């Protein structure tokens, strides 16, 4: 796999010589009326039917895709308007899972944790219709986030396989099948979400093997990213550099970049999709602050290996704050590109500073 496949997402009318690709991790706040529509749809006494609810989801998907365009993002998603939760959504679509009701996760939060009760099988496509809908609704490249097999295995009760590794590899084969269908439909940017990796970092070898299954026979021009959030990165670095992916999408803003040095030695050879806005803070960082955060990324990789996004999905933020973070991030990216073009930033691995006047 090569890092050269980033340039296919460069807009034709891009003003600067340098290009720092801007995108989002995936989720985005749902319009309040979409949640209300779901309540009506699930109310047996209401005449709001499946067609009505699908129209509401379609409208929300279009709206959020356009919000991403308006913010200026180079690569957009629909904010996962049709998804309820990152494991549940896929478990409902994979043969072999069943649900037994909510399980308490932390505090007063409940998660409808599924069980794998028989061998997992691929039935019908999970995301192709969703992808086609968004691709038709925008003229920008579309990224498709998929929950990774290790998280799909770890966050379920395993009653059918010897261990989570075996279940992960079986699920990875299904993810591979889905990506092949997405590629056929025109998708060129796939993000595998593995939040469970950082919470159980000793299993990075399982994730690496699962990724080998996932990318088998996927063309080189298809960009594969891996999103990992929170946790102690020193326990998975540099081993993750052997994973067959083009970029690593990492949450670093939330910890004030205190783990940044982990990625400086040995050299970071993949692309770095750097979290430059903190999704746990319910206000939009200033353009200047985000520019400073971008410089942190340039301490680890040169500009051609840097991608910019929020730390994680932004679905829990107020919608105006989520939008403000995106718009300011794009403005900051374009400012830093212009400064790089003008030679105003010295970029040496391990340090990125404003050039001396």
Instruction: Report which of 248, 250, 197, 190 is spatially closest to residue 224, judged by C-alpha positions.
Output: 190
pLDDT at 3 exceeding the cut of 70: no
Please state the rounded mean pLDDT for residues 97-106: 84
Please state the rounded mean pLDDT for residues 16-26: 98
Looking up tokens 């985000």 gives 290
pLDDT at 91 exceeding the cut of 80: yes
pLDDT at res. 201: 85
Query: Going by C-beta distance under 8 Å and a sequence separation of 6 or more, which residues neighbour residue 140?
Result: 11, 68, 69, 73, 74, 75, 76
Per residue in 325-344, pLDDT tens? 999 999 999 999 999 999 99
pLDDT at res. 242: 97
8 A C-beta contact, residue 122 and residue 174? yes
Per residue in 22-55, pLDDT tens? 999 999 999 999 999 999 999 999 999 999 999 9
62 vs 200: which has the higher pLDDT: 62
Per residue in 199-255, pLDDT tens? 888 899 999 999 999 999 999 999 999 999 878 899 999 999 999 999 999 999 999
Per residue in 313-325, pLDDT tens? 999 999 999 999 9
Per residue in 248-263, pLDDT tens? 999 999 999 999 999 9
pLDDT at res. 14: 97
Q: Which residue ranges form the domains of the chain, and what is each CATH number? A: 3-87+121-342 (3.20.20.210)
How many Cα atoms sit within 13 Å of 12 on the Cβ side?
Answer: 2
Cis check: omega of the bond before 238, within 30 degrees of 0: yes
How many CB atoms lie under 10 A from the CB of residue 272? 20
pLDDT at res. 264: 96
pLDDT at res. 2: 45
Q: How far apart are CA 192 and CA 182, in angstroms?
A: 13
Please state the rounded mean pLDDT for residues 136-151: 98
pLDDT at res. 230: 79
SS3 of 305-335: HEEEEECCCCCCCCHHHHHHHHHHHHHHHHH
pLDDT at res. 170: 98
Could you tell me where the beta strands, DSSP code E, fall in 246-298? 247-250, 271-277
pLDDT band at 1 (very low <50, low <70, confident <90, very high): very low
Please state the rounded mean pLDDT for residues 139-162: 97
114 vs 201: which has the higher pLDDT: 114
- Across the chain, what does the average pLDDT equal? 94
Q: How far apart are CA 124 and CA 94, in angstroms?
A: 8
pLDDT at 354 exceeding the cut of 80: no
pLDDT at 114 exceeding the cut of 80: yes
As a whole-number percent, the residues of the chain with pLDDT over 90 amount to 88
> What single-letter DSSP state applies at residue 2?
-
Per residue in 261-288, pLDDT tens? 999 999 999 999 999 999 999 999 999 9
pLDDT at res. 208: 97
> What single-letter DSSP state applies at residue 139?
S
pLDDT at 355 exceeding the cut of 90: no
pLDDT at res. 129: 97
Please tell me whether residue 228 adopts helix, strand or coil conformation.
Answer: strand
């Amino acid at each position: 796999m090569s890092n050269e496949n980033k340039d296919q997402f460069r807009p034709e009318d891009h003003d600067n010589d340098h290009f720092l690709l801007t995108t989002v991790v995936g989720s985005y706040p749902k319009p309040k009326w979409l949640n209300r529509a779901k309540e009506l749809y699930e109310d047996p006494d209401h005449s709001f039917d499946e067609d009505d609810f699908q129209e509401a989801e379609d409208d929300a998907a279009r709206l959020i895709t356009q919000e991403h365009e308006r913010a200026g993002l180079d690569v957009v998603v629909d904010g996962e308007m049709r998804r309820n939760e990152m494991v549940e959504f896929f478990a409902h679509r994979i043969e072999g899972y069943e649900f037994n009701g909510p399980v308490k996760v932390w505090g007063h939060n409940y998660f409808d944790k599924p069980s794998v009760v028989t061998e997992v099988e691929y039935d019908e496509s999970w995301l192709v219709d969703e992808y086609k809908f968004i691709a038709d609704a925008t003229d920008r490249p579309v990224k498709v986030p998929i929950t990774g097999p290790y998280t799909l295995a770890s966050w379920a009760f395993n009653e059918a396989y010897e261990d989570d590794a075996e279940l992960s590899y079986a699920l990875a084969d299904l993810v591979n099948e889905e990506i092949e269908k997405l590629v056929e439909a025109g998708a060129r940017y796939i993000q595998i979400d593995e939040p469970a990796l950082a919470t159980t970092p000793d299993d990075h070898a399982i994730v690496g093997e699962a990724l080998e299954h996932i990318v088998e026979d996927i063309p080189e021009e298809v960009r594969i990213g891996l999103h990992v959030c929170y946790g102690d990165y020193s326990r998975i670095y540099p081993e993750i550099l052997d994973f067959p992916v083009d970029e690593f999408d990492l949450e670093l803003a939330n910890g004030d970049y205190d783990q940044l040095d982990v990625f400086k030695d040995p050299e970071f050879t993949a692309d770095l999709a750097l979290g430059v806005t903190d999704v746990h803070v319910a206000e939009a960082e200033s353009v200047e602050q985000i520019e400073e955060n971008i410089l942190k990324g340039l301490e680890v990789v040169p500009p051609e290996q840097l991608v910019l996004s929020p730390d994680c999905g932004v679905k829990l933020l107020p919608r105006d704050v989520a939008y403000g973070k995106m718009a300011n991030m794009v403005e900051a990216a374009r400012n830093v590109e212009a400064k790089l073009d003008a030679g105003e930033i010295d970029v040496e691995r391990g340090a990125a500073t404003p050039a001396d006047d």
